[in-house]
Amino acid sequence: VSRQESWRSQRDCSRGAAGITETRQHRRLRNIVVGKIILTGDRPTGRLHVGHYVGSLRRRVELQNSGEYSDIYIMIADSQALTDNADNPEKVRQNILEVALDYLSAGLDPEKSTIFIQSMVPELYEMTAYFMDIVTVSRLQRNPTVKSEIQMRNFEASIPVGFFTYPISQAADITAFKANVVPAGEDQMPMVEQTREIVHKFNTVYNTDTLVMPDILLPSNDACRRLPGTDGKAKMSKSLGNCIYLSDTEEDVKKKVMSMYTDPNHLKVSDPGQVEGNTVFTYLDAFCKDEYFAEFWPDYKNLDEVKEHYKRGGLGDVKVKKFLNRVLEEELRPIRERRKRWEQDIPAVYEILKSGSEKAERVAAQTLKEMRAAMKINYFDDAALIAEQSEKYNGQ
């Protein structure tokens, strides 16, 4: 084997998980055979609400149970939460458990999905640092989600650097697991777009196919994409007090539904009502199934019939709200019951997070190793480099 050849084969090979030397072509094949990999996650800044549920969580559970995915990673993004909560670590710490409980009660199954904590996978930080070298400041400034978050938090000139660069760390989250599917809400579109640019740039600059191009998987209908708060405001937020949480009691939910924002001009039952922008109907669009009519409201066959009646006039808000409450109760009861069971065994929840984080770290370490080889910073693994340089100084 000539020196040139041995150098090339070293460069093109890396050690697979099984310790078998793998060529680039094998690696490409493995990515195809392995198939579809999911990564997604949430910042642990509060309990999850019904907006998270219809926007992403319900879908994750369906994807998990479809059997179509070879690996599913669900990340609790604590370090991302710290980028704008540096002075409030206790909040982040407490909410890791809340989010984990919400995941498990929504039906994520630790046997099928790897649930882990972001900061427990330090490889993600190293990857972020390398990605920072191939992203410009002006590109980050153009990220629309970051732009509006900066406004919302009144950061202006006092943006923490970590917050400003979190789209880059999100690219590390996604690529570390070679995820090709990212189920998430519309607000995450700019993050996945930026990740795609990073993947393209990294693979081009370092002449490799280590990183996998991801696609976002958006919620299927508009109501699920943007579920409003119970007051009709576009954004559900704890500070506005307009959220229905997955962990709310039956009474909480009922109270919130009965005081929901509807059509402010629908004063008398006989008045024609408006369905667009009417929160009760938006929630029904997100939650209602036809089978609920036979069970709870046999006067109608489906939601379209209810909407028609409401628009014509003669259907009061209270009736529609009572139906919505039944529907929500039906959807949320199993979640609430599963949560009660998990709450009895908090140490088991931490065990799940721990073993999930260990698995996640193994996978991320493998990707990082491949990245380091592509970037030629794998000095001590590269016997050919050392041999070649010895030759250069001591050869004939």
Taking contact as CB under 6 A, which single stretch among the options 39-47, 128-136, 242-250, 289-297 is the one that binds ligand TRP?
Answer: 39-47
| Residue 169 Cβ vs ligand TRP, minimum distance, rounded to whole Å | 7
* Residue whose structure tokens are 């984080």: 357
| Torsion (CA) 65, 66, 72, 74 in degrees, nearest 10 | -50
Measured CA distances, 270 to 136, 150, 266, 300, 315 (Å): 59, 46, 9, 18, 7
Q: Could you tell me how many residues of this chain bind ligand TRP (CB under 6 A)?
A: 13
Q: What six digits make up the tokens of 149?
A: 């978050």
| Residue 13 Cβ vs ligand TRP, minimum distance, rounded to whole Å | 30
| Residue 331 Cβ vs ligand TRP, minimum distance, rounded to whole Å | 22
**Burial class for 144, CB neighbours closer than 10 Å (0-12, 13-18, 19+):** exposed
**What are the contacts of 218-222 at 24+ separation with CB within 8 A?**
218/184, 218/185, 218/186, 218/189, 219/54, 219/55, 219/56, 219/59, 219/185, 219/186, 220/59, 221/285, 221/286, 222/285
Taking contact as CB under 6 A, which single stretch among the options 23-31, 38-46, 196-204, 381-389 is the one that binds ligand TRP?
Answer: 38-46
Q: How far is CA 134 from the centre of its chain?
A: 24
Residue number with CB closer to ligand TRP (42 or 102): 42
H or E element in which residue 278 lies = none
Taking contact as CB under 6 A, which single stretch among the options 41-49, 128-136, 258-266, 311-319 is the one that binds ligand TRP?
Answer: 41-49
Taking contact as CB under 6 A, which single stretch among the options 167-175, 235-243, 340-348, 382-390 is the one that binds ligand TRP?
Answer: 167-175
Task: Build a one-symbol-per-residue string for 66-95: x at contacts with ligand TRP by CB under 6 A, - elsewhere.
Answer: -----------x--x---------------
| Residue 131 Cβ vs ligand TRP, minimum distance, rounded to whole Å | 13
| Residue 355 Cβ vs ligand TRP, minimum distance, rounded to whole Å | 20
Residue number with CB closer to ligand TRP (186 or 388): 186
Angle between helices 383-394 and 3-12 (to 10 degrees): 150
The residue type of 356 is G
Task: Assess 40 for contact with ligand TRP (CB under 6 A).
Answer: yes
Taking contact as CB under 6 A, which single stretch among the options 34-42, 61-69, 232-240, 324-332 is the one that binds ligand TRP?
Answer: 34-42
| Residue 35 Cβ vs ligand TRP, minimum distance, rounded to whole Å | 19
Out of 50, 182, 199, 306, point to the residue binding ligand TRP (CB under 6 A): 182
| Residue 246 Cβ vs ligand TRP, minimum distance, rounded to whole Å | 15
- Round to whole Å and give the CA distance between 86 and 153: 14
Task: Assess 184 for contact with ligand TRP (CB under 6 A).
Answer: yes
Computed on alpha carbons and rounded to an integer, the radius of gyration of the chain in Å comes to 25
Out of 11, 38, 41, 306, point to the residue binding ligand TRP (CB under 6 A): 41
- Round to whole Å and give the CA distance between 30 and 383: 25
- Round to whole Å and give the CA distance between 340 and 334: 10
| Residue 182 Cβ vs ligand TRP, minimum distance, rounded to whole Å | 5
Please, which residues have CB within 8 angstroms of residue 204's CB and are 6 or more apart in sequence?
Answer: none
Residues at the site binding ligand TRP, with contacts judged by CB under 6 A: 39-43, 77, 80, 170, 173-174, 182, 184, 188
